[in-house]
């Protein structure tokens, strides 16, 4: 004996009915039940029929006119030629519905761009439930809300969903050389902002220390803007900050603080090491080698007993002879002769010098290793420090290396791809700066230096920094699901 099928309950404008799953699917195909009707399986809570996973295939079949022909009549709500009216509050309009779509919509179905009822007309609406495409006149309007003719669910603008799918495919496409080319083109998509920003940055570099500080703040503000906007998926936004609502704290103090935080977390260990070397060696006045004293000769120098023997007339001849021998060794001629002999022995024995220098060689090797470790850290972690500053805008997160290391772990190989591209851009930027300095060398002036080279180099640096920021933002955008960034 087969087990009894579990009953479903469905509430429609005609009333509440019970049926098994197959019968309920048949009612959906016949149009008696639409997506906004509420259903309940057994003792479970009531939900909209269109949101029930076991009923979605029936709504898709209904939307595609795939209902089997010759279906036996079913008992329950009477079939309807058109979907029943859905009551929508008068104050609810199309604009109040969130721009979200059901994850079951097939991008392939949305890739079409014509109305399913009028193939010669471009699609204007798409049903968020069954992905049916309609022109501007097909959907039923209830209080200015477009509803699907197939399943009765809400319709959304077709281009809005199409753009969302394109953005999702781009975000899931992975990080590669196509993003490198996109980053190179990004500053030129905002030509006026690029020209103005590069000119302002170049001129500020000529204004001494204060001008360079302001230039740094502007540059870092643009970099932060690019990283955050691109990471969120807003590639069409300008990289220039909004100076119409200038704030000394937000537009000056925060970028300056974040820049200082980047220097601390990247070059801080190297700076500490150099300070220790400078104040530890030169601050002591003498090096450890100079502080080393010559070997002691206390065993050969006369002691108190020997001096007593020299002054005591009753001293034994043996003690008197030993005291005279030690006294003779302290004469300047004998000391110089003995030192010369020791020096000759050391020259003939090269291992003596090595043994004397071994402790200092060990300390020097340790310092050199620390130097290269800190240099490696500054180079490899530098782009990540800039990335953390861009998308968090928090000084505490910037100076905490655990935040950056966790981000590197989450991004995986994507970060190292971005790091290689950033290193390539920095190398090209350095080569361009050298070429500019050589070409403009005849324009160098006494006391002020090569002003044309400073301006041109500043403008080029502005462009390359924007490209680097775009690369870092794209790498974050492609890893948004792993990093926890909410993309548009």
27-80 tens-digit pLDDT: 888 788 888 888 888 777 788 887 777 787 777 776 654 433 333 334 444 433
Q: What is the DSSP letter of 144?
A: T
Cα–Cα distance measured from residue 215 to residue 205, given in angstroms and rounded to the nearest whole number:
6
Helix (H) or strand (E) holding 437: helix 413-439
Give me the sheet containing 47-48, strands edge to edge: 15-19, 8-12, 38-41, 47-48
- The answer to whether 410 and 483 have CB atoms below 8 angstroms apart is yes
What is the four-CA torsion angle of 360, 366, 371, 374, rounded to 10 degrees?
A: -160
Residues of the chain with pLDDT under 50: 1-3, 65-110, 284-298
Residues 156 and 162: beta-carbon distance below 8 Å: no
* Model confidence pTM above 0.85: no
pLDDT of residue 373: 93
Strands (E), 161-278: none
Provide the sign of the torsion angle of the four alpha carbons 120, 121, 123, 125, taken in this order. Answer: negative
Which 3 state secondary structure label does DSSP give 134?
strand
pLDDT, residue 93, reads: 32
Whether the CB-CB separation of 385 and 266 falls below 8 Å is answered with yes
| The pLDDT of residue 265 | 93
pLDDT digits (tens, 9 = 90+) for 399-445: 999 999 999 999 999 999 999 999 999 999 999 999 998 998 888 88
SS3 470: helix
Angle at CA of residue 222, ends 218 and 224, nearest 5° = 115
pLDDT value of residue 352: 58
Which pLDDT score, from 0 to 100, does residue 82 have? 37
CA distance 149 to 116: 11
The predicted structure's pLDDT at residue 361:
58
Distance CA 240, CA 225 (A): 7
CA 45 → CA 38, 41, 48, 52, distances in Å?
10, 8, 10, 11
């Amino acid at each position: 004996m087969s087990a009894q099928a579990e009953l479903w309950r469905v509430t429609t404008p005609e009333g509440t009915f019970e049926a098994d799953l197959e019968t309920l699917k048949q009612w959906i195909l016949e149009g008696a039940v639409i997506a906004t009707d509420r259903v309940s399986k057994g003792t479970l809570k009531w939900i909209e029929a269109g949101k029930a996973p076991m009923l979605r295939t029936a709504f898709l079949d209904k939307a595609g006119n795939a209902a089997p022909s010759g279906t036996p009549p079913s008992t329950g709500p009477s079939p309807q030629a058109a979907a029943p009216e859905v009551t929508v509050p008068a104050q609810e309009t199309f604009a109040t519905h969130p721009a979200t779509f059901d994850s079951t919509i097939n991008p392939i179905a949305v890739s079409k761009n014509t109305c399913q009822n009028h193939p010669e007309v471009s699609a204007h609406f798409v049903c968020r439930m069954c992905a049916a495409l309609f022109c501007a006149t097909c959907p039923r309007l209830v209080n200015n809300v477009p509803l699907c003719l197939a399943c009765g669910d809400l319709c959304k603008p077709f281009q809005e969903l199409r753009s969302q799918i394109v953005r999702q495919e781009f975000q899931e496409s992975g990080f590669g050389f196509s993003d490198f080319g996109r980053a190179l083109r990004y500053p030129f998509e905002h030509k006026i902002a690029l020209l103005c920003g590069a000119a302002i940055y170049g001129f500020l570099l000529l204004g001494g220390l204060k001008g360079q500080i302001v230039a740094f703040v502007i540059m870092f503000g643009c970099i932060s803007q690019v990283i955050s906007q691109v990471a969120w998926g807003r590639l069409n936004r300008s990289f220039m900050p909004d100076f119409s609502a200038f704030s000394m704290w937000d537009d000056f103090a925060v970028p300056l603080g974040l820049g200082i935080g980047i220097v601390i977390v990247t070059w801080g260990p190297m700076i500490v090491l150099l300070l220790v070397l400078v104040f530890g060696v030169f601050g002591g006045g003498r090096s450890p080698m100079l502080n080393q004293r010559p070997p002691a000769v206390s065993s050969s120098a006369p002691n108190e007993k020997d001096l007593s023997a020299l002054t005591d007339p009753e001293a034994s001849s043996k003690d008197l002879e030993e005291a005279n021998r030690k006294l003779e060794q302290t004469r300047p001629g004998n000391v110089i002769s003995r030192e010369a002999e020791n020096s000759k022995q050391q020259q003939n024995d090269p291992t003596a010098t090595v043994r004397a220098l071994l402790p200092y060689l060990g300390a020097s090797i340790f310092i050199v290793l620390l130097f290269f470790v800190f240099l490696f850290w500054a180079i490899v972690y530098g782009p990540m420090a800039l990335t953390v500053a861009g998308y968090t805008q928090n000084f505490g997160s910037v100076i905490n290396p655990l935040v950056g290391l966790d981000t590197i772990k989450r991004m995986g190989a994507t970060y190292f791809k971005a790091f290689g591209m950033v290193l390539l851009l920095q190398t090209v930027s350095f080569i361009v700066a050298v070429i500019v300095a050589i070409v403009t060398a005849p324009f160098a002036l006494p006391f002020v230096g090569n002003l044309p080279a400073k301006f041109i180099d500043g403008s080029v640096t502005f462009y390359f920094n924007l490209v680097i920021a775009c690369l870092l933002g794209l790498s974050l955008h492609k890893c948004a699901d792993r990093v926890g960034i909410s993309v548009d």
